[in-house]
Amino acid sequence: MTPAYTPTLTRRHMVAGAAAAGAVLALPSSAMAQAKTPIVGPLAPNPAEFKKTMERFIGSATPLTEGLHLDLPVLADNPSAVPVKVKVTLPITEQEWCEEIIVLADLNPSPLACRVLLTVDTGAAEAAVRVRLTQSQTIHALARMKSGKVLVAKQAVTVAASGCGM
């Protein structure tokens, strides 16, 4: 007797499902490429991509260290699913709201771990995700407000073992 076919949920299916539900889920193009091709070679950090992503998000704005709260464990016992919470603590009004939040893992091969797009109708600017980490590193959260302000927060996290490539 042959085993029954069980479909595998891929990143492409997750994006399609999110779009059908009316949500906006954005994955980096490198993540979509990983869904198509197997990973070959070591999973080395990509500091150039990290720097480029930071510069592109910040643009000409002066980053502010107040107004963004980043919550994650100092010691992650499961590096495959490290809980990360980001919350804008500034008042959200119809004139000033958070348009976008990103989470970056500076020593991951693909530093962009999460991107959330928000509207004024959202009411609150917060996100909770689980991030896979390759090693102990610093997690960066950035938020762009409607006025052009960019809020930043960062925190170091120590992982117990490697989460990528397992």
pLDDT digits (tens, 9 = 90+) for 67-119: 999 999 999 989 999 999 999 999 999 899 999 999 999 999 999 999 999 99
Distance CA 74, CA 114 (A): 19
Name the nearest CA neighbour of 101 among 112, 110, 92: 112
CA gap 37, 157 in Å, rounded: 29
Which CATH topology does 45-159 take? Immunoglobulin-like (2.60.40)
Q: Is the distance from CB of 103 to CB of 28 less than 8 angstroms?
A: no
Phi-psi region for residue 115, left (φ > 0), alpha (ψ -120 to 50) or beta?
A: beta
What residues does each domain of the chain span? 45-159
Q: What six digits make up the tokens of 113?
A: 């771990």
State percent of the chain over pLDDT 70.
71
